[in-house]
Amino acid sequence: MANYPAKVKIVEVGARDGLQNETSVSTQSKITLLNALADAGLKHLEAGAFVSPKWVPQMADSAQVIQGITRKEGVEISALTPNLKGAELALENQVDEFAIFTAASEAFTQKNINCSIEESIERFRPVVELAQKNNIKVRGYVSCIAGCPYQGKVEPEQVLAVCKQLLALGCYEISLGDTIGVGTANQIESLLSLLLEHIPVQRLAVHFHDTYGQALANIHKALEMGIATIDSAVAGLGGCPYAKGASGNVATEDVIYLLQGLGISTEIDLERLAKAGWQICDALNKAPVSKVSLALKNTCQS
Ligand SMILES: CC(=O)SCCNC(=O)CCNC(=O)[C@H](O)C(C)(C)COP(=O)(O)OP(=O)(O)OC[C@H]1O[C@@H](n2cnc3c(N)ncnc32)[C@H](O)[C@@H]1OP(=O)(O)O
Ligand SMILES: CC(=O)CC(=O)O
């Protein structure tokens, strides 16, 4: 019997990663989504991104979104903060957590944030300083942990090196992004084995996109290895403007169903979560990319 964690923290990234590729979603739909996610029991909501509106116009309303949601006790709101300007805006808008983001691939970092990995780390220093002065936690993302859309192979040692730099800066947690969803269970196992030789398991999270349908298998592997923080997006929304063809994050509904089956506590109401997903999918005029959501929808309608 595998030694699964007793409890798993879900970081719901649907309103940011899920919607950063969507051009037709209103600010009110985003607010409604975030409120519904909090009502379903999600406690960690990535609500937006204080990035350049020229680069990602879809996130330009992040301040209005965050101001518009009903803040609930015990629900943490985070946002992407790529530089000091983004961090100052996040602070003004009372986010609970900053998320800085870089990659294990030089090529991706250049395309995504217009600098080298080394330069990104330097840009993050004042972000972390501002956070520390204001008692705000900082999460770090490392993208392209299993492959890069521009340079292909990414060495696990390079992932480790970037994780170490982010931890040394002051991140409390590193989220490992399989940005283009190419990783498979054996690859994730050997990457995590290397990382866990150097980094305590509580400081690692997994952030898997489901482009090749491997996300749940990879999450199961990560759980077996003791990882207890999982990023996911309601209805499997998402994609990255700088990773062409990358599909959405693993669906939160599918992750919750898996965890429930493994007897792992999440305190999330699956039905309310699915309803939140149907609502945003209606607003987007799309079907959910979540098998569990679709199955629940069919059951409800029959
Ligand atoms: C894997 C994933 O899904 S990651 C998430 C998806 N990717 C992203 O969100 C990354 C988006 N990228 C960006 O926003 C940009 O590359 C940045 C902000 C990180 C860097 O962009 P650069 O153009 O190099 O920034 P630079 O500091 O030169 O500023 C250029 C302009 O952007 C503005 N700007 C810079 N940072 C920000 C910010 N955080 N918020 C708003 N505006 C900003 C500047 O004020 C400047 O404006 P101006 O042209 O009107 O004078
Ligand atoms: C910041 C992210 O969104 C991480 C990733 O998908 O690589």
What's the pLDDT tens digit per position in 18-75?
A: 999 998 899 999 999 999 999 999 999 999 999 999 999 999 999 999 999 999 999 9
Instruction: Report yes or no on 4 lying in a domain.
Output: no
Does residue 246 lie in a domain region? yes
Determine, yes or no, domain membership for 66.
Answer: yes
How far apart CA 147 and CA 155 sit, in angstroms, is 9
Q: Whose CA is nearest to atom 12 of ligand 1?
A: 113
Residue 229: band (very low, low, confident or very high) from pLDDT cuts 50, 70, 90:
very high
Residue 1 has pLDDT above 80, yes or no: no
In-domain check, residue 3: no
> Quick check: 152 pLDDT over 70?
yes
Distance CA 180, CA 210 (A): 8
For residue 205, being part of any structural domain is answered with yes
A 10 A CB-CB count for 4 gives 18
Domain that holds residue 46: 9-301
Confidence at residue 213, expressed as pLDDT on a 0 to 100 scale: 96
Percent of the chain with pLDDT over 90: 92
Overall number of domains in the chain? 1
Please give the pLDDT value at position 243: 76
Neighbours of 93 (CB within 10 A): 18
- CATH number, residue 100: 3.20.20.70
Q: Which atom of ligand 2 is nearest to the CA of 80?
A: 1
Output the average pLDDT for the chain. 96
Which one of the ligands is nearest to 140 CA? 2
Is the pLDDT at 3 greater than 90, yes or no?
A: no
- Specify the residue with its C-alpha closest to ligand 1, atom 33: 52
2 in a structural domain = no
Judge contact between 277 and 290, C-beta under 8 A. yes
Answer yes or no: is the ipTM higher than 0.90. Answer: yes
12 vs 233: CA distance, rounded Å:
5
Question: How far apart are the C-alpha atoms of 217 and 203, rounded to whole Å?
Answer: 21
- CB neighbours of 181 closer than 8 A, spacing ≥ 6? 208, 209, 210, 211, 212, 214, 215, 246, 247
Which residues, other chains included, contact 122 with Cβ-Cβ below 8 Å and sequence gap of 6+? Answer: none
pLDDT digits (tens, 9 = 90+) for 111-134: 999 999 999 999 999 999 999 999
Domain assignment present for residue 122? The answer is yes
Pick the catalytic residue from 148, 163, 240, 281: 240
SS3 74: coil
What's residue 94's pLDDT? Answer: 97
* Distance between Cα 112 and ligand 2 center (Å): 10
- Is 219 inside any structural domain? yes
> Crossing angle, helix 215-224 and helix 185-196, to 10 degrees?
30
Instruction: Yes or no: say if 177 and 145 are a contact pair by the CB < 8 Å rule.
Output: yes
Q: Which of 11, 51, 52, 142 to mutate to test the pocket of ligand 1 (most atoms within 8 A of CB)?
A: 52
CA of 153 to the centre of ligand 1 (A): 27
Q: Measured in angstroms, how far is the CA atom of residue 113 from the centroid of ligand 1?
A: 7
pLDDT in tens, 276-301: 999 999 999 999 999 999 999 988 76
